[in-house]
Amino acid sequence: MNVEARAFKQADYKSDVKPIWCPGCGDYHVLMSFTRAFAQLGLPPENIVVVSGIGCSSRIPAYTNCYGFHGVHGRSLALAAGLKVTRPDLTVVVASGDGDGYSIGGNHFLHACRRNVDMTYVVMDNHIYGMTKGQPSPTTEPEFDTALSPGGTKVRPFHPLVVALASGANFIARCFSGDPNHTADVLVEAIKHPGFSFVEILSPCVTFRPDEKAWKEQVHPAPVAETSDQGKAARRLMTDDGFNIGILYRGTRAPYQPAAGKSDIDLTELEKDFEL
Amino acid sequence: MSKPPAAPKVSNLNDLLAVAYQIEIDAVERYRLLADQMEIHNNPELVKIFRDLSRAEGIHGEEIRRLAGDFDVVAHAREMAQFAKGESPEEADLGSAHYLMTPWHALQMSLAGEKRALAYFTSITETAKDPKVKELASELMEEEAEHVNLVHRLLRKYPEPSKTWADDLDPPQSLE
Amino acid sequence: MAASPSISIAIIGSGGAGALTTGDSLLETACAAGWHGLSTRTLGPQIRGGEAAALIRLAAHPVESLPDRYDLIIGIDWLNAHRFGSEIKAGPRTLVISDPRGGDLPTMMTEASVRVVEMPLKEMAKAIPDGRPNMIALGIAGRLLGFSVEETFAPIEKRLADKGPAALEASLAGIKVGFGAAASIDLGMQLTTPKAGDARRWLLSGNEATGLGAIRGGVRFAAAYPITPATEILEWLAPNLTKVGGTLLQAEDELAAVNMIIGASYGGTPALTATAGPGLSLMIEALGLATAAEIPVVVIDVMRGGPSTGIPTKSEQGDLNIAIYGMHGDAPHLVLAPQSIGDCVFTTQWATYLAEALQVPTIVLSDQFMGQSRAAIERPADVAFIGARNVAREITGTYKRHAMAANGVSPMAIPGTRGGQYTADGLTHNERGTPTSGAADHLAQLDKRRDKLDKFNFGDHWASVEGDGDIAVVTWGSLTGAAREAVALAGGGGIKARMVAPRLLAPAQPERLAAALKGVKRILVVEQTHGAQFSKFLRAHYDLPAPMRVFNRPGPLPITGGEIHRAMAEWR
């Protein structure tokens, strides 16, 4: 095979499909971060698979020029696990939102962190269910008023970064969509880091959370450098204000990748146990 | 995050040319993206405005290429022009787009972008050691100042919209 | 063909009596000696120590169904045996060997006027150091069936190989005692040990056969979530997939399992999972996704009593409806059903081949009876059905994942193939795969997905069509064996009959069924459901050429050849 040196520009990773996201949506910036990160890594687009579920953020695969899978609600991590375990040569990026990822996808989130298959999980968190018109998500503030929860849910929001740490994620970061270059740099690190990398991107919803315009002023770089000490990380994440930006934890677990067995045996070897 | 961007190191003329070029190209891309968004969201007036802005930035980019002469500013820009924190100065803030936005809003976006570019080149004139760099930065500064004035003139054609500009009688649709 | 002579044995015991091991061991002895046989088990609800019965049927020809009556019943003890009740049918010619200290005979047996020989198994076992009553029972059974001590001991020797010489000695001693005790017992039947044939034979369960069929068909990835009675498929695949370079991944639930196999298949690896009714219900959404996105996967459903949690350890055929109709929207896909333990190898292999060829999810409806019973079978021939997906390789121009094609199957780009990038989607899409809500594209893709199945030539494997006569017995799945037996019994009484058992349930094959039923004057549909699902499916999709009657009954009791024969005889 002729191995040509191929140089990739950011534009090489964008498809010509025009997104349906509302103008002003943070996900436009996230798409830029994706394509910039892929270009920085120099990966051939055909070797990247973007797997998603259902929701506004999950529309992202079709907007890239990579292979993509727009699956059913909440199951993208499982699908990605099946894919990566059988095709370790591919770079697998899973895109989700706070509903798809933390609600219906919650169980799979736990086990994906626990299993630690090498992939990068990006959750575009806008603290709302956007696609279905504004219901609270697991990260919505308890006092935020919606039609489904008049006066607010009064339920404490989910803290995904702590859950990720407790479940075994090997890389934990938070980004802000409004700083796409920094986000791209973090994504590069996340993709390079072996095992399950979790990147939460705060990505405001212009239609259902116009109040999130204020996030621009509220996010700030994390006050301390990243740690690989789980205890330290646990304490920091438990006291996190929800707006610390940067790589927060980098672990040392070996990724889960079942060893491929022998592939040259005759199938009749398997029949021996049956023989009378 | 609302501080001005940390620019890449500009240590010589070629670097400055490359950065200046990249700023224009990023703006071309950004306005094209906004034009596409407006097209999908059925705002034809804004499609035209953003395509015009995109074209204008493209012309600015060409001017810089001419300034650069034989030097391959395009290739050099690709190598070095990475704004580490924040965004390229002239890029319009995607977060302030809105499907019902009016020409006034688009021009405010453009104005903010030109002002940021102006501030960037101004800072280079103040900090550059190399006199050639200072000179070029000064020239670019003047260019940006012209652009700022141009946008102000355009803005006079479009009044500030009323308070109800974002009202839509139709509720949002659920797609999935 | 005259009915095969057979002998059926039940070994009953509880609380760790080892009745099931005894039954398995007996089957292995018999098969090694040249018999054909099938064994299954019936259990109480406990995890350990529950009441259990090993049910074995031996014959000179392949056995695919359970008997109408048991000839020999050995009761190690009768604790809670009444729970088995009508499952272990007995009659005046049934010989029951009973430990008088083991509790009362179930009323069902006393009412059937069985012949009882008392044997104090527990006492006899106590006389042997480390002796166990079930070894004595095994010895009795071995002698009555005409085997030698060595033949009877051989499977036990294998099982206890790592338990040390004392255990082996105790077992052998028990068998010998049993042999001695059996000398004075008249079985009441003449048995001729069959001659060992030339054909290579295997002894395995339907679940194991399913696993082998999958690997033969090309499956190299399995996702696993345990559920009775399918777990053994996954447990067999775990080490064996690794041997052939594949992988098995345990999932956190069925939702994850089905999505994992979709992911693996999307990446180019033929993939499979196995489950039962409750798990299939969970998987339906994702199977709709695989249908819409044209991604091949195989899902084995080992049917059990339903609905809901139902009877996990019993067989039934009530998942037909959800397998065929379960997906929302119009989502044509394949549904296949093996007809015997041996056929689990072929049908699973064929299912994998078809799924890959047609880029469609394929549900294989096995059931608890086939899945967890063991039988001696001829070694299944190697067949040329190995998954060969139409893969897009040299891609030039704009790649269209769902391009129209004469046979409806579009070349599929596997990730890593340059120029073939596309996003698989459950959303309605155009030829490129881009989501659309337009009428023309929606219709075109619906037509394509239906037509690719309808145009495919499934060949003769679509059904077993046997015999000829005025009456046709139409059935499917594990009832095929009982139907065959019924047709043979009828033939012995001068009634000629045809048997039709589709292996391919969906999509319907109207022309083929019409040909199969040509000239038939009465159609007897037999199925193990409460709601007569299969007969309603036939009525919905086929113009039946003759009047139809349905003999249906839900689990847990098996439908036997004798019962079907009676139903045939009643309809003149």
Per-position DSSP letters for C538-563, written without gaps between them: HHHH---SS-EEEEE--SSSPPPHHH
Query: Does residue B2 carry a pLDDT above 60?
Result: no
Residue in this structure with the two tokens 């575009």, named with its chain if needed: A124
Contact across the interface for A67 and C215, Cβ inside 8 Å = no
Give the separation between CA B18 and CA C166, rounded to whole angstroms.
88
User: Looking at beta carbons, which residues of chain B come within 8 Å of A181?
Assistant: 82-87
- Going by the DSSP 8-state scheme, the letter that residue B160 receives in this structure is P
Residue in this structure with the two tokens 């610390």, named with its chain if needed: A244
User: Looking at beta carbons, which residues of chain C come within 8 Å of A258?
Assistant: 242, 247, 249
Residue in this structure with the two tokens 């007995």, named with its chain if needed: C90
Q: Mean pLDDT for each consecutive 10-residue tract of chain C (572 residues)? A: 71 86 94 94 78 92 93 93 88 95 90 94 92 94 95 94 88 96 91 77 96 98 92 92 93 94 98 97 98 98 94 94 98 98 98 98 98 94 93 95 97 97 97 95 98 97 97 98 96 95 97 96 98 97 94 96 96 86
Give the sheet arrangement for strand C497-502, strand by strand: C463-467, C497-502, C471-474, C522-527, C548-552
Contact across the interface for B1 and A55, Cβ inside 8 Å = no
Average pLDDT over residues A28-55: 96
Give the separation between CA C67 and CA B66, rounded to whole angstroms.
95
Q: Is the CB of B75 inside 8 Å of chain A's CB atoms?
A: no
Give the sheet arrangement for strand C423-425, strand by strand: A220-221, A244-250, A171-176, A196-202, A119-125, A91-97, A48-52, A67-70, C423-425
Q: Which residues are registered as beta bridge partners of A93?
A: A50, A120
Q: Which residues are registered as beta bridge partners of B85?
A: B6
Residue of A nearest to C269 (CA): A86
Which tokens is C553 given? 């009954």
The C-alpha angle C395, C399, C401, rounded to 5 degrees, equals 115
Report the pLDDT value the prediction gives residue B84, as an integer from 0 to 100: 46
User: Looking at beta carbons, which residues of chain A come within 8 Å of B99?
Assistant: 22-24
Give the separation between CA C410 and CA C415, rounded to whole angstroms.
16
CB of A55 within 8 A of CB of A131?
A: yes
Helix, strand or coil, per DSSP, at residue C432: coil
Task: State pLDDT tens for residues A224-240.
Answer: 999 999 999 999 999 99
Report the pLDDT value the prediction gives residue B87, as an integer from 0 to 100: 61
Q: Is B160 exposed, middle or buried (0-12, 13-18, 19+ CB in 10 A)?
A: exposed
Residue of C nearest to A14 (CA): C421
Give the separation between CA B95 and CA A21, rounded to whole angstroms.
12
Report the pLDDT value the prediction gives residue B8, as an integer from 0 to 100: 65
Architecture, CATH, for domain C462-570: 3-Layer(aba) Sandwich (3.40)
User: Looking at beta carbons, which residues of chain B come within 8 Å of A179?
Assistant: 1, 85-87
| Range scoring the smallest mean pLDDT among A31-45, A110-124, B118-132, C363-377 | B118-132
The C-alpha angle B83, B89, B90, rounded to 5 degrees, equals 130
Task: State pLDDT tens for residues C68-97.
Answer: 999 999 999 998 888 887 889 999 999 999
CA C80 from chain center: how many Å?
A: 27
Per-position DSSP letters for C182-210, written without gaps between them: HTT---SS---PPPP-SS-EEEEEHHHHH
Give the separation between CA C364 and CA C352, rounded to whole angstroms.
10
**A79: nearest CB among C252, C260, C422:** C260
What pairing do the DSSP bridges indicate for beta strands C423-425 and C463-467? Answer: unpaired
Q: Would you say the C-alpha torsion C279, C281, C282, C286 has a positive or negative sign?
A: positive
Mutate to test the interface with A, among C423, C427, C434, C437 (most CBs of A within 10 A): C423
Query: Does residue B86 carry a pLDDT above 60?
Result: no
Query: How far apart are the CA of A236 and the nearest CA of chain C, in angstroms?
Result: 29
Report the pLDDT value the prediction gives residue B3, as an integer from 0 to 100: 46
For helices C149-159 and C19-32, give the axis angle rounded to 10 degrees: 120
Cα end-to-end distance, chain A, whole Å: 48
Residue of A nearest to B167 (CA): A207
Element spanning C374, H or E? strand C374-378
Give the separation between CA B49 and CA B93, rounded to whole angstroms.
16
Q: Is the CB of C420 inside 8 Å of chain A's CB atoms?
A: yes
User: Looking at beta carbons, which residues of chain C come within 8 Å of A71?
Assistant: 259, 262, 286, 289, 424, 426
Average pLDDT over residues A137-161: 90
Give the separation between CA C532 and CA C125, rounded to whole angstroms.
49
B13-89+98-157: what fold? Ferritin (1.20.1260)
| B106 band by pLDDT with thresholds 50, 70 and 90 | very high
Nearest residue to B27 via CA among B107, B106, B113: B113
Long-range contacts: B76-81, Cβ < 8 Å, 24+? B76/B14, B76/B15, B76/B17, B76/B18, B77/B18, B77/B19, B77/B21, B77/B22, B77/B25, B78/A9, B79/B18, B80/B8, B80/B15, B80/B18, B80/B19, B81/B8, B81/B18, B81/B19, B81/B21, B81/B22, B81/B23
Which tokens is C388 given? 């060969």
Helix, strand or coil, per DSSP, at residue C66: coil
CB of A129 within 8 A of CB of A144?
A: no
Helix, strand or coil, per DSSP, at residue C165: helix
Q: Is the CB of C196 inside 8 Å of chain A's CB atoms?
A: no
Nearest residue to B98 via CA among A206, A63, A213, A215: A206
Mean pLDDT of all residues belonging to chain A: 94
Torsion of CA C419, C421, C427, C431, to 10 degrees: 10
Mean pLDDT of all residues belonging to chain B: 85
CB of C369 within 8 A of CB of C420?
A: no
- Chain C neighbours, 3+ Cβ pairs < 8 A: A
What pairing do the DSSP bridges indicate for beta strands C374-378 and C201-205? Answer: antiparallel
Which CATH number fits the domain A20-274, given the four candidates 3.40.50.2300, 3.40.50.170, 3.90.79.10, 3.40.50.970? 3.40.50.970
Give the separation between CA C55 and CA C26, rounded to whole angstroms.
10
What SS3 string covers chain A? CCCCCCCCCHHHHECCCCCCCCCCCCHHHHHHHHHHHHHHHCCCHHHEEEEECCCCHHHHHHHECCEEEECCCCCHHHHHHHHHHHCCCCEEEEEEEHHHHHCCCHHHHHHHHHHCCCEEEEEEECCCECCCCCECCCCCCCCCCCCCCCCCCCCCCCCHHHHHHHHCCCEEEEEECCCHHHHHHHHHHHHHCCCEEEEEEECCCCCCCHHHHHHHHHCEECCCCCECCHHHHHHHHHCCCCCEEEEEEECCCCCCCCCCCCCCCCHHHHHHHHEC
Give the separation between CA C31 and CA C95, rounded to whole angstroms.
22
Report the pLDDT value the prediction gives residue C79, as an integer from 0 to 100: 86
Residue in this structure with the two tokens 């006291």, named with its chain if needed: A239
Interface TM-score (ipTM) > 0.95: no
Mutate to test the interface with B, among A8, A28, A73, A177 (most CBs of B within 10 A): A28
Residue of C nearest to A80 (CA): C263
Give the residue extent of every domain in chain A: 20-274
Alpha carbon distances (Å) from C17 to A28, C13, C137 = 68, 5, 11
Query: How far apart are the CA of A70 and the nearest CA of chain B, in angstroms?
Result: 12
- Chain B neighbours, 3+ Cβ pairs < 8 A: A
What pairing do the DSSP bridges indicate for beta strands C374-378 and C36-43? Answer: antiparallel
**Which homologous superfamily does the CATH classification assign to the domain defined by C6-182?**
Pyruvate-ferredoxin oxidoreductase, PFOR, domain III (3.40.920.10)
What's the whole-model pTM score?
0.86
Report the pLDDT value the prediction gives residue B93, as an integer from 0 to 100: 84
| B175 band by pLDDT with thresholds 50, 70 and 90 | low
Task: State pLDDT tens for residues C164-195.
Answer: 898 899 999 999 999 999 999 999 888 877 87
Alpha carbon distances (Å) from C318 to B116, C278, C366, C462, C555 = 70, 12, 11, 21, 9
Give the separation between CA C142 and CA C9, rounded to whole angstroms.
11
What pairing do the DSSP bridges indicate for beta strands C463-467 and C497-502? Answer: antiparallel
- Going by the DSSP 8-state scheme, the letter that residue C494 receives in this structure is T
CB of C106 within 8 A of CB of C82?
A: yes
Mutate to test the interface with A, among B34, B40, B91, B94 (most CBs of A within 10 A): B94
Architecture, CATH, for domain C208-374: 3-Layer(aba) Sandwich (3.40)
Q: Is the CB of B86 inside 8 Å of chain A's CB atoms?
A: yes
Residue in this structure with the two tokens 């042999």, named with its chain if needed: C179
What pairing do the DSSP bridges indicate for beta strands C361-367 and C334-336? Answer: parallel
Give the separation between CA A17 and CA C434, rounded to whole angstroms.
8
Q: Would you say the C-alpha torsion C156, C161, C162, C168 has a positive or negative sign?
A: positive
